[in-house]
Structures are given as structure tokens and as C-alpha cells.
Structure 1
């Protein structure tokens, strides 16, 4: 008898497939147009029609009815699917755009605040120390170039740079920038 059960299920599936094909032929196009009218989304309408037919296939009483009498049921299911999609969390979080945005640019706010803090800390240095630190780090000058530019010995440049950086670190610590 197991072979008879398998053949019986095969016939039911075959009969269901015929009824599902009849439902598709009779109702897919009108349901698709209805969903496009509701949403304006042609690709989404394909998905809704597919899900509607899947639900019809999973509801045995729909397959047993005459395909001509199930249109209102299919319209109702399609409408509920559209409503569920609109209410879904996915839909609320996604924003459709006409063009894909270019790469995001970083916010310059942090850099602006850092520049202000550094400017204030440099302002706390003596004029001699600030002149050497600014030329070394912002001007990119070597010790010999700074010595020539400021008309002082190289040893004095090194000393001012050392003590200027130490004073700059202390000024930044006072402003909470470093430990």
C-alpha cells in the first residue's frame, strides 16, 4: 500500500499544479495590475503576485474552488501583503534615492577643534619657542634651515625646540588633550 499512497499524493500534487496554473492564468495579470496601481513598483508587484499564488497553493480550500470565484480573495491577500510591506521595519529604514551617493566625506568638526586647541596651546608658548616649533612642524624645516632663517646657532634651535615641545605638551595637558 505505500506505493498507492505515493501515487495518490502525486495525483493530488498534479491536480493542485493544474489548479494553481488555472489560478495564475485567470488572476495573475489583474492582481499584478492592482498591485502596481497600489505601489507603483512593477518589480515589487511580481513578488506580491508570487506570494499571493503561494498562499493560494497553501490554502487547500482556494484550490478546490472554481478559479473564477477566487479573485476577490487574491485581491485581499495582495492588498494585505502590500500593507504589511509598507508597515515593515525594512521599509521604514530604507530610503530610495535616484542615484547612489558618492563616498562619504568625513566630518571636519574634530579637525577644526583640534586646530583651535593647538593654536591656543601654541599661543601659550614664548615667541622664541613658538617660532622654532612652528617652523619645524608646520614649515618642515631642518635644524640648519631654522638656524639660518632665525640667525641663531643650531644648538640654540635644538634647545628651543626641546623646551618648546615640552611647554606645548604641558599646554595641551592643561586643555585635556593628552595625559
Structure 2
């Protein structure tokens, strides 16, 4: 009886520590290119964030504010802001997001990133938004209608749109998704239920 409770406690602590370790030390870098304006490669305006947004809601960043030296209380780094041109059409996103531990390209990352064609992360009836929440070591994606803003959401928050899988270049949230989380969650659920059953 005590042995079963010990296993259950151990499994619970292990799961909690794995989730926290995945979140700690995470790195997110987004770079924005406007090929027609010759803004690309190492000169692209970029945004980097370590850790995660603390409040459990979606946080929106407008490119014009971000690279226009508008202050913010978020902890992030900006590079090549001098190359940002508000008149340029930023149609390429370089996306990099790696977990501090549990590194696995194409598997679940700590944050959900959406890029929007309008400022203030507003939806458009005619233009799609794109979602990214898989680990990626730096891939460029075509965003044909341009990028005016992006949002970041901590994936640990319940009720996320991408629950149970991660997104790669998901147009309006639709993409071929990783199902690795579903398998892991199912295995952990079976283990916990088995431990509870043994304890009874």
C-alpha cells in the first residue's frame, strides 16, 4: 500500500519536474524578412525571448512598436531594429524555438506563436494567420500576406487551440500536427491510473 503511494507520488513529481524543466531555459527567436526591400539574413530585425510570458493569456506584439523602440515590461531582446522599415512587406518568418531540456525537433515546444497580417493580432476575414508551436532549430516560412504583429501564449495554459499536438506553419490553426504529446499523455495516464488502482 505504502509502496504504491510512493510510486504515485514519484510519478506525479517526475511529471511536474519534466514540465517545469521544459519551460525553464526555453529560447524563442523570430526574425522577419522583407525580400523586396532587401532586408533578409543576418540583417533581419529579430526578437528573442527566454523563459515565458508570465500571465496565462495571449500577449500581442506589433512589429512597428517592437522595432520602433516602444518600451515594454516583457523581458526580450531585439536585434537589427535599425533595419526595420514600416513600409516594407515582411513576408518571411524565420522561426526558432527550442526547449531547455527535452530537445526534440518537431515535438511540442513551450509556447504557441501566431503571426498576424494585421496589427494588434486581429483576425481578417480574407487573410489567414499562421501558428507555430513545435520545436524548430531555425526554419524560414513564407507568409504571403505579410506580418504586422505576432502573439505568444504559454502552452501550459489549459484550453489552448493546439492541445495534444504542436503546429508547424498552421494556416488558421490547421496543419499536419505532431501527435507525440497525445501518446505521452496516454502513457502517463495509464501509469497513474495503474498506480491508483494498485493503491486501492
- Asked whether the two chains share a fold, i.e. TM above 0.5, the reply is no
Higher relative contact order (CA 8 A, sep 6+): 2
Identify, as 1 or 2, the structure richer in helix.
1
Identify, as 1 or 2, the structure richer in strand.
2
TM range (shorter): under 0.3
